Structure 1
Amino acid sequence: MTTVRPQDPAGPWLLRTEHTVYAVRLGGEGRWAELAAWGPHGAETGPSPLDRSRRTHFITPADAAPAEYIPYGLRPFTGADLTVRRPGGERGLWWAFTGAHYDEGIALRLEFTDRPTGLRTTLRYATVPGTDVLLRWTELHNAGTEPLHLERLDSAGVTVPVQGGARLTYLAGQWSQEFGRHQLDLTRGRFEMASTQGAPGHAYAPWLAVQDAADADGPAYGVALEWSGNWHITADAEPGGAVRVRAGRVPHEGAVVLQPGGSLDTPRLACAFSPEGLDGLSRVWHRYERRLAGERLHRTRKVLYNSWEATGFGVEADAQLELAVIAAGLGVELFVVDDGWFTGRHDEKGGLGDWRPDPAAFPAGFDDFIGKIRATGLEFGLWVEPEAISPASRLYAEHPDWVYRIEGRPATLVREQLLLDLGRNDVQEFVIGTLDRLLTGHDISYLKWDMNRPPTERGRPGAGPAGELDLDAAHVAGYLRVLDHLRDRHPQVTVEGCAGGGGRIEHATLARTDVVWSSDNTAPLDRLAIQYGYLHAHAPHTMSSWVTDAPGVFDPRPRSLAFRFVLAAAGVLGIGADLRHWTAEQRAEATGWVARYKQERDVIHHGEARLLGTPADAGCGVQYDAPGGDRTVVAAWSTGRLDGAPLVPGRAVRLRLRGLDPGARYRDTATGTEYSGAHLLHYGLPLAWTADHDAELVTLVRQ
């Protein structure tokens, strides 16, 4: 560990990932840190692309600098990362550099101190081994004598050098239409995404990619915020031509109070780079999320059946068992009972909080029911919504103070329910005790954690001034504490994350769950667009997806059962249709698809994924290459018309594959057809679509 004093050379300090370098130096005569280079190894050699004229007009040098993290005061005009208000109302910091700690190439700490307030700010950098991801966050410590109000406390600022403006790619939508991929060119001005719903939300994902608008297929830079609460990401096209991205949490109360002697760490911001554009950037994120999974990555993600779309709230043991028997016959490995299994849960209005099996639904006992499910060869799973509470529940009658509320104000019901204040220790203990009781008292191997409403009337009467509570951070900490407990106490249980679909998907959740539910919308073409966007940011092994009979919501064009199975097989396969209404032919076809998926899921979950085309093209797909490249699986779908137009009749659609060895030969295991790698790269894999054949799962083995 090397310590660099203020009088020593001011960098650059180099952080090296597997294929990239991130170079930081001091600027402004040591008053701030700034980016010198970010790109492939060697990019730091030569003049920095971020160097600028030292002359500024109507702004300060700090406003024009590619600053890594800078406070309001030093940077008054173009956007600061930290805004601090003293009790007297004064805002602004004018700090000085007070030291660096550098673990060569691996980690860096840069410390800045504002002596009048006593605030010590430490910029943290850490590389992630085996990936091209650099983590950044900020530590704040109040060594002064008065409380400080942190009105803005971002995690980091990231500057991207562009020539003709920036091409921004982001993921946006709404409930049942999450993760739509959107792009815009930002040449001047500001772009911002945010959520104040106590979760990442359905409207935007806390993820952003930046490219040069003049080279939209060129290198891609990306950021993703690890935070389960309120957040924002802001991109500014700055006067000097670069684009600067700021990201961080958003205090619910408007400011976080940092008391004398207190410390606070901001959420981690993951920063990624790929010279291979958005598709290459997606693989960087996939590798990172495989690393987040740790040893759990290598656990087989079972084919599941979920009974929600078949029975809704009408959970009844015999009907559930009938579905389980059919599902087991298809090759399904896990049966999950969704909402409606507990006392008082006959509709949306009751039961939440009273987490005990309904004796009317299971007259022979819950364990007897689970035993019969397991006798079919299936494992058993259960849906829960631990943060929610029904006003008609026994729990609410006993603990009305446990919900978010503002004294003297009416409570707003969302989905006929209220939200528990999970920042309270007693509420956390209740949730932990409830989950422990379920998982130790019954033979449960899968838990689906849902959250179906954001917090409203977010207050905790009698607990002190609202600004000192930091309720958003407290809820996040409680949520993560419970998930950490599940991972530690019940490591054998697979945990699925859900929030009305894809409302809470970010790296803190993904590090503690095995899979997540990206959307409640399971219609085929709708879901294809959702999964296409999702895979830009997140790995296939995290993406739970079901085959259902749901009609399209936004794109109602019909698609085959094969289309639905190949689509769900692109991640972690599940089935949610009412199997009692499937014909013998449909069940036979489903059995074949389940068997095919089991043959290839290791490649799908552990291989390198490449996105082929888009849902707007006549055909699109995902290519999965096994480690070592000996096996390639292609999931492909027809997204255009199925009557031959606009193609010449009889001419196959071709998906150009990527990353193959042009000199090698590849054999299609289903047809025996052999292709050279050069053929597949140049002409593409032929796929003949018809009204009855609109999807395919192709396996190519390298000869």
Structure 2
Amino acid sequence: MQISFSKKNKTFRLDTENVSYVMMIGPAGELRHLYYGAALGKDDDLSGFAHRFDRAFSPYPEGLTPDDSLNIACLEYTAFGSGDFHNAAFALRKENGTAVTSAVYKSHVVTKGKAPLPGLPASFAPEKEVQTLEITLADSFSGAEIVLRYSIFADSDVIARSVKIVNPTGQTIRIEKLMSAELDFDSASFDMLYLQGKWARERHAFRTPLQPGMQGFRSARGSTGHQYNPGVVFAAKNASELHGDVYGMLLLYSGSYAVEVEVDEYESTRAMLGINRENFTWNLNPGEEFNSPEALLIFSANGFGGLSAQSHAFLMNHVIRSPWKHVKRPILVNNWEATYFDFNDDKIYDIAKAASKLGIEMLVLDDGWFGKRNDDRSSLGDWFVNTEKLGDFSKLVKKINRLGMKFGLWFEPEMISEVSELCKAHPDWVLSVPDAPRSIGRTQMVLDMSRKEVVDYLFETISGILHSANIEYIKWDMNRNLTEIHSAALPPEQQGEVAHRYVLGVYDLHERLLKEFPNLLIEGCSGGGGR
């Protein structure tokens, strides 16, 4: 792996064993995308790839020529409103109301290692096995700095990307769009492959030729959802499982996202993915910074099989941190379909006893063990044991452990029932718009995970249960999506931050629980694969 910069040609090169990625500083200081694909020779000069010819109705920077128009260039990260009429990767609004932006090269630095993304999942590796390039672009309109981050790994051809917006000015800057990665092609001769589905029928592959205009998909649910996966593949027309050029883009994010693809009238393609800009804004105060979720770029010259193999290896080795990642999961029995809400400690123990004789290794106690939960209309948020059903909970767990079985427990931490002790005490903890109707899903509402006190409450109650008995597994469910996304804790000008802050709250709760219980296995359930 190597990251290099040519002062002569003003080009950046990222080289892994099988892949090269090349950018160049353009005549107006813009960062141009030159090449991404199979590994290049050491002496290959791609600066000529940046040349374009004048196209009608394409303005150009003052003092330059029509051939220098941003509208005809393959760019690395596109500003809004300053000469490129294609889809922009970011939009920032100043206090004076303008949303016009620019992205002009300011500086760069190459470092060993890779810093974590605060509050967000991200890839990792030992310092000697990863290099990171940070390119700082300046927005002359708002004064903001846009930091593009690229990391390459010694044992992989995957490129990890993210973006940081820094506000060094004395005024508040409003982020209205921030994509994690942009990828431009000077061709549209690709098929787009994506995974579509629905509840109980997730991840069915669709392959369709790129068409002129905008195409893509997104989630506005506050989670990734069953409907689409937050990734996209661009494949050469002849690509198959075993051969052909294939490009993948994958977003490491659990909230509302968007995949946007545009093919222009000259058959150039621009693809990007990141946080869904619908109902997203972020007020960046002086001295603050904001980090996008991380995106992964994957290229394979060996078809879809090569792409899959790279993706699987990278996620296993550089994204998943759990001590369980190389361990076979225990075979489990879950009581839900057998009992629904109608159970007691004796019935649960009988299920475990019968299962243990079949070699089953863990019993998971599902919905209905807490509060006054005898149906699906109450008690979500009341995370204390229903002793009328289960008696001495720790005694039950010990009995099941003596059968040689592990014990797991169901939670739905992000939800709240209107009929609950928690809702009586904190009705303002519900995501809802003041003096307006609320939506109900599965007879439940959504907790405002953007609030620190909500996350604190959940950590205290859930960790209290986990400390009370030998619980080695959590089934973390999410049976409805977010609506009426409004927080009683934030002022009007920050309501566009709630959905992203919600996701950060979920990540924070995960992180705190796993720090407290490092060997805990968490299954992320959402009616199946809805997250």
Tell me the TM-score normalized by structure 1.
0.67
Q: 1:41 to 1:165 in 2, by over 3 A?
A: closer
**Partner amino acid for 1:207?**
G
Name the structure, 1 or 2, with higher relative contact order (CA <8 Å, separation 6+). Answer: 2
- Give the structure 1 partner of residue 150 of structure 2: 125
Q: What runs of 5+ residues in structure 1 fail to find an aligned partner?
A: 505-703
Would the aligned equivalents of 1:207 and 1:223 in 2 still touch at CA under 8 Å? yes
Aligned-residue CA RMSD in angstroms? 2.4
Query: How far 1:273 sits from its partner (Å)?
Result: 0.9
Q: 1:498 to 1:48 in 2, by over 3 A?
A: farther
Larger radius of gyration: 1
Q: 1:177 aligns with which of 185, 190, 201?
A: 201
Residues of 2 paired with 1:64 and 1:311: CA distance?
63
1:406 partnered with 2:433: yes
Residues of 1 paired with 2:12 and 2:49: CA distance?
16
1:320 partnered with 2:348: yes
1:224 partnered with 2:224: no
Summarize deviations over 1:545-579 as a string: whole Å, max 9, x none: xxxxxxxxxxxxxxxxxxxxxxxxxxxxxxxxxxx
- Give the structure 2 partner of residue 31 of structure 1: 29
Secondary structure of the structure 2 residue equivalent to 1:245: strand
Query: How far 1:18 sits from its partner (Å)?
Result: 4.1
Q: How many residues align?
A: 499
Q: 1:63 to 1:134 in 2, by over 3 A?
A: same
Secondary structure of the structure 2 residue equivalent to 1:13: strand
Q: 1:307 to 1:128 in 2, by over 3 A?
A: farther
**Equivalent residue runs for 1:158-177 within 5 Å:** 158-160=183-185, 162=187, 165-177=189-201
- Give the structure 2 partner of residue 138 of structure 1: 163
- Give the structure 2 partner of residue 688 of structure 1: none
Q: 2:263 aligns with which of 220, 224, 237?
A: 237
**Equivalent residue runs for 1:419-438 within 5 Å:** 419-438=446-465
Query: How far 1:94 sits from its partner (Å)?
Result: 2.9
Summarize deviations over 1:195-230 as a string: whole Å, max 9, x none: 111111111110111112254551211011111111
Please identify, of 172-181 and 423-432, the stretch whose mean Cα deviation from structure 2 is larger: 172-181
Please identify, of 302-311 and 277-286, the stretch whose mean Cα deviation from structure 2 is larger: 302-311
1:417 partnered with 2:444: yes
Secondary structure of the structure 2 residue equivalent to 1:488: helix
Secondary structure of the structure 2 residue equivalent to 1:271: strand
Secondary structure of the structure 2 residue equivalent to 1:92: coil
- Give the structure 2 partner of residue 189 of structure 1: 213
- Give the structure 2 partner of residue 205 of structure 1: 229
Please identify, of 467-476 and 202-211, the stretch whose mean Cα deviation from structure 2 is larger: 467-476
Query: How far 1:489 sits from its partner (Å)?
Result: 1.1
Secondary structure of the structure 2 residue equivalent to 1:179: strand
1:337 partnered with 2:361: no
Query: How far 1:232 sits from its partner (Å)?
Result: 0.3
Q: 1:423 to 1:214 in 2, by over 3 A?
A: same
Q: 1:373 to 1:499 in 2, by over 3 A?
A: same
Residues of 1 paired with 2:154 and 2:467: CA distance?
36
Would the aligned equivalents of 2:486 and 2:495 in 1 still touch at CA under 8 Å? no
Residues of 1 paired with 2:472 and 2:3: CA distance?
48
Residues of 1 paired with 2:48 and 2:423: CA distance?
59
Residues of 2 paired with 1:209 and 1:476: CA distance?
25
Query: How far 1:91 sits from its partner (Å)?
Result: 2.0
**Equivalent residue runs for 1:94-493 within 5 Å:** 94-103=102-111, 106-160=131-185, 162=187, 165-215=189-239, 217-251=243-277, 253-291=279-317, 292-294=319-321, 295-363=323-391, 365-461=392-488, 463-467=490-494, 470-493=497-520
**Partner amino acid for 1:463?**
L
Summarize deviations over 1:93-152 as a string: whole Å, max 9, x none: 134311111349932111111234211111111113422211111111122232222221
**Equivalent residue runs for 1:498-513 within 5 Å:** 498-504=525-531
Residues of 2 paired with 1:50 and 1:202: CA distance?
40
Summarize deviations over 1:168-206 as a string: whole Å, max 9, x none: 110111122211111110142221111111111111110
- Give the structure 2 partner of residue 69 of structure 1: 77
**Partner amino acid for 1:84?**
L
Residues of 2 paired with 1:440 and 1:457: CA distance?
35
Would the aligned equivalents of 2:406 and 2:472 in 1 still touch at CA under 8 Å? yes
Secondary structure of the structure 2 residue equivalent to 1:77: coil
**Equivalent residue runs for 1:569-648 within 5 Å:** none
Residues of 2 paired with 1:178 and 1:95: CA distance?
39
**Partner amino acid for 2:500?**
A
**Partner amino acid for 2:70?**
A
Secondary structure of the structure 2 residue equivalent to 1:352: coil
Residues of 2 paired with 1:265 and 1:11: CA distance?
27
Query: How far 1:336 sits from its partner (Å)?
Result: 0.7
Residues of 2 paired with 1:323 and 1:99: CA distance?
64
Please identify, of 253-262 and 227-236, the stretch whose mean Cα deviation from structure 2 is larger: 253-262
Secondary structure of the structure 2 residue equivalent to 1:288: helix
Residues of 2 paired with 1:443 and 1:353: CA distance?
22
Would the aligned equivalents of 1:386 and 1:431 in 2 still touch at CA under 8 Å? yes
Residues of 2 paired with 1:238 and 1:31: CA distance?
23
Query: How far 1:89 sits from its partner (Å)?
Result: 2.5
Residues of 1 paired with 2:106 and 2:476: CA distance?
45
Q: 1:222 to 1:411 in 2, by over 3 A?
A: same
Residues of 2 paired with 1:235 and 1:213: CA distance?
17
- Give the structure 2 partner of residue 568 of structure 1: none
1:90 partnered with 2:114: no
**Partner amino acid for 1:53?**
R
Q: 1:296 to 1:16 in 2, by over 3 A?
A: farther
Would the aligned equivalents of 2:202 and 2:529 in 1 still touch at CA under 8 Å? yes
Would the aligned equivalents of 1:17 and 1:132 in 2 still touch at CA under 8 Å? yes
Query: How far 1:52 sits from its partner (Å)?
Result: 5.5
Would the aligned equivalents of 1:83 and 1:92 in 2 still touch at CA under 8 Å? yes
Query: How far 1:48 sits from its partner (Å)?
Result: 7.4
Query: How far 1:31 sits from its partner (Å)?
Result: 2.5
Q: 2:88 aligns with which of 69, 80, 86?
A: 80
Residues of 1 paired with 2:265 and 2:110: CA distance?
32
Residues of 2 paired with 1:155 and 1:65: CA distance?
20
Residues of 2 paired with 1:461 and 1:391: CA distance?
17
Would the aligned equivalents of 1:2 and 1:103 in 2 still touch at CA under 8 Å? no
Residues of 1 paired with 2:310 and 2:178: CA distance?
27
Would the aligned equivalents of 1:198 and 1:229 in 2 still touch at CA under 8 Å? yes
Secondary structure of the structure 2 residue equivalent to 1:374: helix
Residues of 2 paired with 1:470 and 1:461: CA distance?
12
Query: How far 1:451 sits from its partner (Å)?
Result: 1.0
Residues of 2 paired with 1:378 and 1:462: CA distance?
44
Secondary structure of the structure 2 residue equivalent to 1:115: coil
Q: 1:49 to 1:187 in 2, by over 3 A?
A: farther
Residues of 1 paired with 2:350 and 2:375: CA distance?
22
Q: 1:67 to 1:316 in 2, by over 3 A?
A: same
Please identify, of 250-259 and 82-91, the stretch whose mean Cα deviation from structure 2 is larger: 250-259
**Partner amino acid for 2:34?**
A
Summarize deviations over 1:298-320 as a string: whole Å, max 9, x none: 33321111222222222322222
Q: 1:203 to 1:466 in 2, by over 3 A?
A: farther
Query: How far 1:287 sits from its partner (Å)?
Result: 0.5
**Partner amino acid for 2:99?**
R
Would the aligned equivalents of 2:473 and 2:522 in 1 still touch at CA under 8 Å? yes
**Partner amino acid for 1:69?**
Y
Residues of 2 paired with 1:43 and 1:451: CA distance?
49
Q: 1:237 to 1:130 in 2, by over 3 A?
A: same
